[in-house]
Amino acid sequence: MERLSEKQIEQQLEALEGWSLEDEKWIVKKYRFKQYLDGIDFVKSIADRSEEVQHHPLISIDYKLITVKLSSWKAKGLTDLDFQLAADYDRLYR
């Protein structure tokens, strides 16, 4: 997959909610949960989805707050795959 340009990244970000750009090569979102184990179930579901496409986010779990970061290290930046997964995670959250 090809690395997206700054303008393409901007456009893709506008189509999503709650995602932001970090260090020009990561997109990041924090998801909040009412129950701790609901957050853990969410981690399991996004991990399953990520394994299917062999593209794995960084995930951090701070009690009921889950932070997810996506980047495509092979492309040294962001690709369409990152934004596809971001939209998938949002669907799984809803």
Structure-block tokens of residue 8: 């393409």
CB nearer to a second copy: pick between 15 and 58: 58
CB nearer to a second copy: pick between 5 and 60: 60
Give least dist CB 94 to a second copy, A.
21
Residue type, 72: S
CB burial of residue 67 (10 Å; 0-12, 13-18, 19+): middle
Alpha-helical (H) ranges within 1-94 are 6-14, 36-52, 80-93
Give least dist CB 50 to a second copy, A.
8
CB nearer to a second copy: pick between 14 and 62: 62
Residues that bind a second copy (CB under 8 A): 36-37, 40, 43-44, 47-48, 51, 56, 58-63
